[in-house]
């Protein structure tokens, strides 16, 4: 199978491919997602800071972990069971002379979320930026195809985990700390075949805005990022091969984004550059105009 993307009528297409497990594995994707902008050397904005990142083994989470590392942050990568991807992320993070802790477990379980936060603080001595990024999706053609088990699983991973992790992290966050949640363009325009997923992403927007108001007096900022189509392991592990090949080609920029193009939004929201922003959502989505 070809390893390069191809173009059709100005659209960027990729080789048709699928994976039979979710979460998917980044090491099996062709072409591999671009997680690091090598032209960006970082400006040491996060020296001495600590950031746990859920879903940090691959995709957007990996790119955020690398970008934070380049700014001087120690990183805790929280992931489900993709050990090979997580180890690769640790190598990519540690080459920037910072520390990386791998934490394996299910963020849909409150006990694990509590343990992950406590282990991060034990290892690094503090916690400054929480990135709630883990997510899963399971397309279905109609609502009656969504089983109670799928519905519960999607909500536990995508939104319940944010409550669990934020609650566990809050005692360790100080004035100037930041929480960044990953929502989606589907929160604003919906998705006919991702009903439960889109519902969780809408909930994340409301959660972000509400938590921002709740924590404003403590000086803890809460914002979100709503990516459009991004080339991550979630895509080949979710959709059939033909749809994967054309994924993202329908946005104005006619291609899916790379994780390295999404990560700067997280760096900005975690930094002092965004000191006057809370309760907001950034939209790196390839040019789709949505109702904010």
For residue range 152-205, list pLDDT tens digits in order: 999 999 999 999 999 999 999 999 999 999 999 999 999 999 999 999 999 999
| Among 188, 197, 266, 276, the one annotated catalytic | 197
Number of CB atoms found within 10 A of residue 111's CB: 11
What pLDDT is recorded for position 216?
Answer: 98
For 41-275, which CATH superfamily applies? NAD(P)-binding Rossmann-like Domain (3.40.50.720)
Number of CB atoms found within 10 A of residue 202's CB: 17
Q: What average pLDDT does the segment 221-237 reach?
A: 89
Range name among 200-204, 241-245, 250-254, 275-279 with the lowest pLDDT average: 241-245
Active site residue 164: no
Domain ranges of the chain: 41-275
pTM of the model: 0.89
For residue range 279-292, list pLDDT tens digits in order: 999 999 999 999 76
Nearby residues of 114 by Cβ (< 8 Å), 6 or more positions away: 164, 168
What pLDDT is recorded for position 16?
Answer: 81
Cα-to-chain-centroid distance, residue 245: 22
């Amino acid at each position: 199978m070809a390893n390069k993307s191809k173009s059709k009528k100005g659209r960027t297409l990729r080789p048709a491919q699928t994976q039979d497990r979710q979460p998917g594995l980044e090491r099996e994707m062709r072409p591999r997602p671009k997680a690091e902008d090598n032209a960006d050397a970082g400006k040491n904005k996060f020296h001495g800071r600590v950031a746990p990142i859920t879903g940090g083994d691959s995709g957007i989470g990996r790119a955020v972990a690398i970008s934070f590392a380049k700014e001087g942050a120690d990183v805790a990568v929280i992931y489900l069971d993709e050990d090979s991807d997580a180890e690769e992320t640790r190598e990519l993070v540690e080459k920037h002379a910072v520390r990386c802790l791998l934490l394996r477990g299910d963020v849909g379980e409150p006990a694990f979320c509590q343990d992950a936060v406590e282990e991060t603080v034990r290892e690094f001595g503090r916690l400054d930026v929480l990135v709630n990024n883990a997510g899963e999706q399971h397309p279905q053609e109609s609502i009656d195809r969504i089983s109670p088990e799928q519905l519960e699983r999607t909500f536990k991973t995508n939104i319940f985990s944010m409550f669990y992790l934020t609650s566990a992290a809050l005692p360790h966050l100080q004035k100037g700390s930041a929480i960044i949640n990953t929502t989606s363009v589907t929160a604003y325009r919906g998705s006919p075949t991702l009903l439960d997923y889109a519902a969780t992403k809408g909930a994340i927007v409301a959660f972000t805005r509400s938590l921002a108001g709740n924590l404003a007096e403590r000086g803890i900022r809460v914002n979100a990022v709503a990516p459009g189509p991004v080339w991550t392991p979630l895509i080949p592990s979710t959709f059939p091969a033909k749809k994967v090949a054309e994924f993202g080609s329908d946005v104005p920029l006619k291609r899916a984004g790379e994780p390295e193009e999404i990560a700067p939004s997280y760096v900005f929201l975690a930094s002092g550059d965004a000191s006057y922003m809370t309760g907001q959502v950034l939209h790196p989505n390839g040019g789709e105009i949505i109702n904010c």
